Structure 1
Amino acid sequence: MRQQYDTSAPPVAFSVADAFMLRTALDALGGVRGLDALDVACGHGTTTRLLAGGGARRTVGVDDCPERIRRARAHGADGPGAVEYHVADAAGMPQLGPFDLATAVYLFNQAHDRAALHAMFRSVRANLRPGGRLLAIVPNPGAFPHVDWSPYGIRIVERTPGGDAPLLRARLETDPPVAFECREWAHADFAEAAVDAGFTTVSWQPVRTPPPCEVHDETYWARYRNAPVGSLMSCVA
């Protein structure tokens, strides 16, 4: 559920919904103009470019994959401030800040165990100024096998209990499909890790979807809101 597929192709529907939800949250906070912003697990830089284009003073994207960082740099960036990309593991990220804002789109579900999950939150918190905010899109647990997300661009193929959280094998319904694995953490696990890392406030934003259009009407998005792929977590340092 990271930005690992061909970014020249149209984004799958759940990714469109996530981007809309994130933009709505940023607008509600007054935007990013003049802020120092960190995008963790930046993939090919889609969210990084969103932050830069919104007028962030400094924008930094971090990902553990050199190829994704290479492609992010190749895309360039729009915005008045500097944009940097770094190859680093989110659980052991160096001190790059401080920042006023951090974003993380489907990062925390990549933690293979509880220690790694807590390390990721601590690493992000260490890069934020006091009062800084983390906006994280995380997957909702408990969908498989009760909810079919394939109309929105993702299919859970197998759920294997074990370890600190069940292992999910899934695929993005792109052309061609992209297989991936992640862990099915509960929202309570994310909140626990955030508090342990020193975040003072943890809240969950309402699920928001884009306006209806010719491709996806209101019925389509209403069904999505009943069982969305992702939720937006907001944490204040």
Structure 2
Amino acid sequence: MRQQYDTSTPPPAFSVADAFTLRTALDALGGVRGLDTLDVACGHGTTTRMLASGGARRTVGVDSCPERIRRARESGGEPGHGVEYVVADTVGLPALGPFDLATAVYLFNQAHDRTALHAMFRAVRANLRPGGRLLAIVPNPGAFPYADWEPYGISVVERAPGGDAPLLRARLETDPPIPFECREWAHADFAEAAADAGFATVTWQPTRTPPACAVRDETYWARYRTAPVGSLMNCMA
């Protein structure tokens, strides 16, 4: 989901809210200056570059798609700017760290079954130092068919039961629209996988939205906050 909207102009509202949520969480933690940071499922490197520009000592972006990594490199940050990009699948993530902080935006909903979900969390945890932190934006389950996310840049068109979690068929409301699929894991499933991977604590933060502007006023954002696409998962190793 994240990879498709990385180059949207302008970015869809839900991704603007997610980026603001992540930035404010990092600011509340004192920022990333001097930290070793890992951005998993980095797409075209939007969050990776944010970490590097915040003063991280080392920043590594990882994605399974060589084309996305190529575009991330073209967008700046490697080499000589404290940013590295690696092509790797999260389930088979090699030892790249250790890191103080990992970020993941709409990664874990891509797990096709529970085994893969747990493997993803274990791979991230294995790359963190003791006391390290994972900040992950994950989808909120149960919105379809009750919430209409189309005004915010994404539509769920079908929920197909089966497997370890329902399969959601959705589309990004770009021009033209981009279809994609993901699993509708419950937050409890994410928390269980994090605990199994060795994370000591898991806490949750609701979406925060940016200040109102001429394009998106406070009424718009207030409506979005009633049923946001994602939440922030904060896991401490």
TM-score, with normalisation over the residues of structure 2? 0.97
User: Quick check: 2:98–2:129 contact (8 Å CA) kept in 1?
Assistant: yes
- For 1:79 and 1:151, the matched residues in 2 are separated by 39
User: Quick check: 1:204–1:232 contact (8 Å CA) kept in 2?
Assistant: yes
Residue 8 (structure 1) shift? 5.6
User: More deviation in 75-84 or 51-60?
Assistant: 75-84
Counting matched residue pairs gives 237
User: Quick check: 1:203–1:234 contact (8 Å CA) kept in 2?
Assistant: yes
Cα separation, partners in 2 of 1:127 and 1:6, compared to 1, 3 Å:
closer
Letter in 1 for 2:172: L
Give 2:72's aligned residue. 72
Residue 80 (structure 1) shift? 8.2
Q: Does 1:98 align with 2:117?
A: no
Deviations 1:167-202 (A, max 9, x none): 000000011111100000000000000000000010
Superposition map of 1:49-64 within 5 A: 49-64=49-64
Superposition map of 1:158-169 within 5 A: 158-169=158-169
Cα separation, partners in 2 of 1:64 and 1:28, compared to 1, 3 Å:
same
Q: Does 1:211 align with 2:211?
A: yes
User: More deviation in 161-170 or 200-209?
Assistant: 200-209
Cα separation, partners in 2 of 1:193 and 1:200, compared to 1, 3 Å:
same
User: Quick check: 2:155–2:173 contact (8 Å CA) kept in 1?
Assistant: yes
Amino-acid identity (%):
83
User: Quick check: 1:99–1:129 contact (8 Å CA) kept in 2?
Assistant: yes
Give 2:200's aligned residue. 200
What SS does structure 2 have at the residue aligned with 1:90?
Answer: coil
What SS does structure 2 have at the residue aligned with 1:33?
Answer: coil
Residue 81 (structure 1) shift? 5.1
Residue 206 (structure 1) shift? 3.0
Give 2:114's aligned residue. 114
User: Quick check: 2:38–2:61 contact (8 Å CA) kept in 1?
Assistant: yes
What SS does structure 1 have at the residue aligned with 2:233?
Answer: strand
User: Quick check: 1:56–1:79 contact (8 Å CA) kept in 2?
Assistant: no
What SS does structure 1 have at the residue aligned with 2:4?
Answer: coil
Give 2:129's aligned residue. 129
- For 1:43 and 1:236, the matched residues in 2 are separated by 24
- For 1:5 and 1:224, the matched residues in 2 are separated by 18
User: Quick check: 1:4–1:44 contact (8 Å CA) kept in 2?
Assistant: no
Deviations 1:117-166 (A, max 9, x none): 00000000000000000000000000111111001000001100000000
Give 2:2's aligned residue. 2
User: Quick check: 2:60–2:86 contact (8 Å CA) kept in 1?
Assistant: yes
Give 1:178's aligned residue. 178
Letter in 1 for 2:215: V
Residue 3 (structure 1) shift? 2.0
Gapped runs of 5+ residues in structure 2? none
Gapped runs of 5+ residues in structure 1? none
Residue 92 (structure 1) shift? 1.0
User: Quick check: 2:78–2:84 contact (8 Å CA) kept in 1?
Assistant: no
What SS does structure 1 have at the residue aligned with 2:25?
Answer: helix
- For 2:106 and 2:235, the matched residues in 1 are separated by 15
- For 1:114 and 1:235, the matched residues in 2 are separated by 19
User: Quick check: 1:52–1:78 contact (8 Å CA) kept in 2?
Assistant: no
User: Quick check: 1:156–1:170 contact (8 Å CA) kept in 2?
Assistant: yes
- For 1:78 and 1:137, the matched residues in 2 are separated by 25
